[in-house]
Chains A and B, each alone.
Chain A
Amino acid sequence: MVKKTFNYNKLGFKAGIEIHAQLSTPNKLFCRCPASLTNEEPQDVVQRKFRPVLGEMGEYDPALLIEFEKGHTIFYEVFDSICTYELDETPPFPINTDALYDGIKLARMMNCQIVTETNVCRKNYLDGSVPSGFQRTALIGYNGYVLLKEIHTGLEEKKLPISWIYIEEDAARKDNDRSEDKNIFFKLDRLGIPLIEIVTDHSLFSPTEVVSAAKTLGMLIKSSGIVRKGLGTIRQDINVSIARGDRVELKGLQLLDLIPKAIDLEIQRQLELIAIQEELYKRKIRPKDIQLHILDVKEIFSKTSSKLVKSTLKRGEGVYLLPIAGFKGLLGRELQPTKRFGTELSDRVKSFTSLKGIIHSDEELTKYRFSEKEIHQISQLCREGEAYVIVIGKKKEAQKALTFVHERVIAAFKGVHPETRQVDENGISTFTRDLHGRSRLYPDTDLPPIIIDLERVKNINKDLPENFWDKIQRLSKEYSISSELAENLIYDNKDQVFEELIRNGAPLKVVLTTLTQTLTAISREGVDIDNISNYHLLSIFDAIKSKKIAKEAIPEILIQVGTDPTKSITQSINDIGKISLKELDKLIITLLERSQNLVEERKMDAFSPLMGILMKEIRGKIDGKIVSEKLQLHLEEQISQTK
């Protein structure tokens, strides 16, 4: 739980958003492979190692160096759908101009200036997610803005500046089923799918504003009609800081509802870190008081009953201790629920080394089955006010781990450490990596500068889609529907076909049910509704209009088209079949014969159950209204006969 509500203004709270959205072009950005994911088994696996390279000023980016230190071996799963470009075996092909100008369209929708000549740049990544070791990225727009409006009233809340818009290639996706320890597997299918990155400036001053901005940007991107739909196609990161803290990037905030809680928990974490900083000052401890002085303490545990230590020693590994001056009690200080300062140290060790974590002096040590004597002997090694961290493992790895612990402890003197954190479903975050420096961005020599076609930009300007908030207002007024319904239609990209259907004279209620309910329902049943085009929908409603089918047939036809997109609507209608009035009479008579008891017992009340049975059998094959009338007639007849 968050401890209290914050005065964001007083704290100097600032936030910005970075959104990544996949474009829906059929091909990838720098090669001509299909831009789609696959469920195939890999045909081949290629193994690679990465090395850090010197940056512009002859220095290594520290975050990249740490990534290298992890000593990971990367395995790439190769599929039929990928080529030698994705494997870093062929230089890039010219940029996919459809994707480029789709990106420019989005930039114009966000009122950005468009660059006249752009250079593809390389952004280094050593985690293996890009086989070349860098992501290709280019700036396309800058200095735009988006109006944050209350979606349903259309009232303006704020003008949010958009700093930069980039077009880049998506990274490979990690295969968590195969990855283990130092062997990391990636599927190459996602690598190279065109991606738009939108960066707002840091002028969101409360969690409410962040949510409003995330929602508006999400809607605007989705309403553009150029992005891919589905899980993981739009990803947002939130940069958060308070005046006395530092910039922390929160990842994994796909659910808008989680944003306020995650932000509050991050503020709480930053405040606690500042409190630790103040406490160190009060205790008159300075960074130089904390030396990287590692002690080998395995002797203490020579007769231990701790299974953990025993098995380690048996493998010939050791137990190492780092005393930390002045930190007594601070390692156990809670920063977020279940996350103490000691957890921060542990998370780093887990992230940078192969060790499973640390043991520290502010923990209940008996849970590791350490004896009183052992605990006493360890504390004897430390001076007054000292805390300590113990790591168990191979000497080299343990020393590396304690070096990272030492670095993080020293950073505590500065309060908040700038870093990237992954948020879980409770809003609690875990350290993932240090923020990357600038040394990892440099020009790509494989591709010449790209000159933007200004004529094409002019045409894009002429044809920009209506702002979605204006559209919500218009749709709801014009068709007397709720703004929520209008929003859903836009969100699902169904607003255009909606208007066209109504113009063609389709009944409003049926259209709305089909677009907002039926499609969702059959999608839940596993039908791929992406296969259902606007043309399909228009044809179905034409068939209803010309009485070729009844409206009850809509779900069945949609299921057929969704399952087999090569099937035409006419074919689907034929497959469902139709029932003549004569056949209907026959069906009803047979049914009534079978149900004599029911009719005798319940008389006209038997209508509903009988109608239910009938419709189950012939739904969609004939108008329900006709069925109901006919059944009524036959039923009345039968009752009058038995009298």
Chain B
Amino acid sequence: MPGEKYSGYRSSTLNWLKANNLEVWDEIEIKKGATKLKGVILPRNELADPRFVSIKLPTGYNIGFNPEDIQLVKKYSHSKGEYQIPKREIIQNPESAFIPILGCGGTIASRLDYQTGGTIPALTPEELFSSFPEIADLARIETQLLFDIFSENITFTHYVDILTAIETTIMNKNPQGIVLTHGTDTMAYTAAALTFAITNSPIPIVITGSQRSSDRPSSDAFFNLYNSVFYATSPQAIKGVVVIIHEGSSDTSSAIHKGIRVRKMHSSRRDTFRTIGESPVGRITEGKIQYFSEAKKYIDLCKTKKNEDLIISKKFEERIGLIYHYPGIQSELIEHYINTGYKGIVIAGTGLGHVSTYLLPMIRKAVDNDIIVVMTTQCLHGFTGLSVYESGRLLKAAGVIPLNMLPEIAYIKLAYLLGNFHKIDKIKKLLKTNLKGEILQRERFQEFP
């Protein structure tokens, strides 16, 4: 590694910098033909073309030059631009609701590093309040950065960290609600893990994120965070886990989703999250919470509890496979899971929940090896039905359990159940039990977009 002095430079440009006694943040003047240009040498992305040196011109524009094309005229000073967060006095109203914000990384908690063009974490209270001072009108805020990673890197150990933080926060600080900021990519998995693992939550636990980082004037981070904090302070809030995020592309309303039927459905839109097969729980529009009629059952599930009733299970079985069925799939795939000691397999089957018939022997072998095999549909919408066609009936006979859950939610549920229960029959029974509203029981006509 060339180190910070030559951050990101390699081969010929690294040699050129060293030979000319230059390093990153030096202000230089270069000459090409009769033309002179001044600029500050910038750190360079390690994956970018190694032939160029990046500079920032006095106009603020960045360009790259090839040292072979130019003459170095002069080295001026060394002028590292330090990004400073403005000192802003935070006046918190001691009377207002206390809402801790737990940071789990992701776009919402990241901002651009102007010098490198990379992203840096941004969830200090200073940063939060200087960017979003209006939050202070809603609640007394405390921030805690649990980890700063993009959500594709989140694993079960992170779920345990989050659960531990939630537990100690509730027990020691008695907050009115908790807001969790999280990357959107795997937010639905985390939401499901928390929903299954937390029973009798005395407070609302809101998960939110953003699709545009907070260094952009159009960022959805503020809108999502503001409505999440607002919801967490509301006496109307459901005591349990919800996901709150843009309902549509407009900055007008947020959807409230339950944590176990929600899915990221668009790679980049603000309104990427959709509750599948049901309506969301409700929406927030300009400081008003509206619950949809379909959500009544879920609200009932989350009746007010005392702190003492709170149960948090922090165990997950990590050896669960999630198989997406496709034409030509090989049975070795399943065999691998059997041989490596997996405890559960979720299949996202085609249509009503089908797989190619030639997989049946291997599936039977898995069941015989005490692996719990469950079937969901890769259509996402609609129910599984293993009694309609012969191939379905064969799967059922082989011991496959059909579930009317989203494949990812079934995966998390299985990890949770296998982590906390040991008798196979009990686990199978609980799989089919609608523990937190994860099982689709009734699909209204209008729910398919």
* A interface residues, Cβ below 8 angstroms from B: 46-59, 64, 84, 87-91, 113, 115-119, 121, 124-126, 131-134, 137-139, 142-143, 164, 166, 438, 441-443, 445, 448-449, 451
Q: Are A449 and B57 interface neighbours, CB within 8 A?
A: no
Residue of A nearest to B87 (CB): A58
Residue of B nearest to A137 (CB): B61
Q: Tell me whether A49 and B223 are in contact in the complex, defined as CB-CB below 8 angstroms, given that A443-B114, A449-B64 are known contacts.
A: yes
Q: Are A116 and B65 interface neighbours, CB within 8 A?
A: yes
Closest chain-B Cβ to A455's Cβ sits at a distance in Å of 15
Q: Tell me whether A121 and B60 are in contact in the complex, defined as CB-CB below 8 angstroms, given that A89-B268, A91-B268, A445-B118 are known contacts.
A: yes
Pick from A56, A89, A119, A441: contact of B249, CB under 8 Å:
A89
Interface of B, secondary structure class, is loop
| Residues of chain A with a CB closer than 8 A to B448's CB | none
In the bound assembly, the distance between CA atoms of A87 and B64 in angstroms comes to 30
Q: Are B250 and A46 interface neighbours, CB within 8 A?
A: yes
Q: Tell me whether A113 and B33 are in contact in the complex, defined as CB-CB below 8 angstroms, given that A53-B214, A59-B86 are known contacts.
A: yes
Residue of B nearest to A199 (CB): B59
Q: Are A118 and B81 interface neighbours, CB within 8 A?
A: no
Q: Are B216 and A84 interface neighbours, CB within 8 A?
A: no
In the complex, 25 of the A-B residue pairs with CB atoms within 8 angstroms, ordered by the A residue number, are: A47-B251, A48-B250, A51-B219, A51-B222, A53-B217, A53-B219, A54-B86, A56-B81, A56-B115, A58-B85, A84-B268, A89-B249, A89-B266, A90-B268, A119-B64, A133-B216, A139-B63, A143-B37, A164-B61, A443-B117, A445-B117, A449-B48, A449-B49, A451-B49, A451-B64
In the bound assembly, the distance between CA atoms of A50 and B45 in angstroms comes to 30
In the bound assembly, the distance between CA atoms of A48 and B219 in angstroms comes to 10
Q: Of residues 8 to 51 in B, which have CB atoms within 8 Å of A's CB atoms?
A: 32-33, 35, 37, 45, 48-49
In the bound assembly, the distance between CA atoms of A166 and B33 in angstroms comes to 21
In the bound assembly, the distance between CA atoms of A514 and B52 in angstroms comes to 53
| Residues of chain B with a CB closer than 8 A to A164's CB | 59, 61
B212 at the interface (CB under 8 A from A): yes
In the bound assembly, the distance between CA atoms of A266 and B101 in angstroms comes to 53
Q: Are A124 and B217 interface neighbours, CB within 8 A?
A: yes
Residue of B nearest to A124 (CB): B217
Q: Are B64 and A132 interface neighbours, CB within 8 A?
A: no
| Residues of chain A with a CB closer than 8 A to B248's CB | 46
Q: Are B250 and A134 interface neighbours, CB within 8 A?
A: no
| Residues of chain B with a CB closer than 8 A to A88's CB | 212, 218
| Residues of chain A with a CB closer than 8 A to B270's CB | 89
B69 at the interface (CB under 8 A from A): yes
Q: Are B35 and A116 interface neighbours, CB within 8 A?
A: no
B112 at the interface (CB under 8 A from A): yes
Q: Are A58 and B35 interface neighbours, CB within 8 A?
A: no
Residue of A nearest to B250 (CB): A47
| Residues of chain A with a CB closer than 8 A to B66's CB | 116-117
Q: Tell me whether A51 and B217 are in contact in the complex, defined as CB-CB below 8 angstroms, given that A46-B249, A116-B65, A117-B63 are known contacts.
A: yes
Closest chain-B Cβ to A559's Cβ sits at a distance in Å of 44
| Residues of chain A with a CB closer than 8 A to B45's CB | 448
Q: Tell me whether A143 and B268 are in contact in the complex, defined as CB-CB below 8 angstroms, given that A54-B131, A126-B217 are known contacts.
A: no
In the bound assembly, the distance between CA atoms of A143 and B32 in angstroms comes to 11
In the bound assembly, the distance between CA atoms of A628 and B169 in angstroms comes to 103
B304 at the interface (CB under 8 A from A): no
Q: Of residues 49 to 108 in B, which have CB atoms within 8 Å of A's CB atoms?
A: 49, 52, 54, 57, 59-66, 69, 81-86
Identify the interface centre among A55, A166, A443: most chain B CB within 10 Å of its CB.
A443
Q: Are A116 and B219 interface neighbours, CB within 8 A?
A: no
In the bound assembly, the distance between CA atoms of A451 and B64 in angstroms comes to 9
Q: Are B216 and A53 interface neighbours, CB within 8 A?
A: yes
B124 at the interface (CB under 8 A from A): no
B215 at the interface (CB under 8 A from A): yes
Closest chain-B Cβ to A154's Cβ sits at a distance in Å of 26
In the bound assembly, the distance between CA atoms of A164 and B60 in angstroms comes to 12
Q: Tell me whether A442 and B63 are in contact in the complex, defined as CB-CB below 8 angstroms, given that A51-B217, A53-B217, A88-B212 are known contacts.
A: no
| Residues of chain A with a CB closer than 8 A to B158's CB | none
| Residues of chain A with a CB closer than 8 A to B49's CB | 117, 449, 451
Pick from A51, A117, A442: contact of B64, CB under 8 Å:
A117
Q: Are B251 and A49 interface neighbours, CB within 8 A?
A: yes
Q: Are B52 and A117 interface neighbours, CB within 8 A?
A: yes
In the bound assembly, the distance between CA atoms of A115 and B52 in angstroms comes to 11
Q: Are A84 and B59 interface neighbours, CB within 8 A?
A: no
| Residues of chain A with a CB closer than 8 A to B37's CB | 142-143
In the bound assembly, the distance between CA atoms of A133 and B213 in angstroms comes to 12
Closest chain-B Cβ to A192's Cβ sits at a distance in Å of 15
Q: Are B48 and A56 interface neighbours, CB within 8 A?
A: no
Q: Tell me whether A445 and B64 are in contact in the complex, defined as CB-CB below 8 angstroms, given that A58-B86, A142-B37 are known contacts.
A: no
Closest chain-A Cβ to B12's Cβ sits at a distance in Å of 14
| Residues of chain A with a CB closer than 8 A to B217's CB | 50-53, 64, 124-126, 132-134
Q: Are B218 and A131 interface neighbours, CB within 8 A?
A: yes
Q: Of residues 245 to 276 in B, which have CB atoms within 8 Å of A's CB atoms?
A: 248-252, 266, 268-270
| Residues of chain A with a CB closer than 8 A to B117's CB | 443, 445
Residue of B nearest to A49 (CB): B251
B130 at the interface (CB under 8 A from A): yes
Q: Are B251 and A438 interface neighbours, CB within 8 A?
A: no
In the bound assembly, the distance between CA atoms of A48 and B45 in angstroms comes to 33
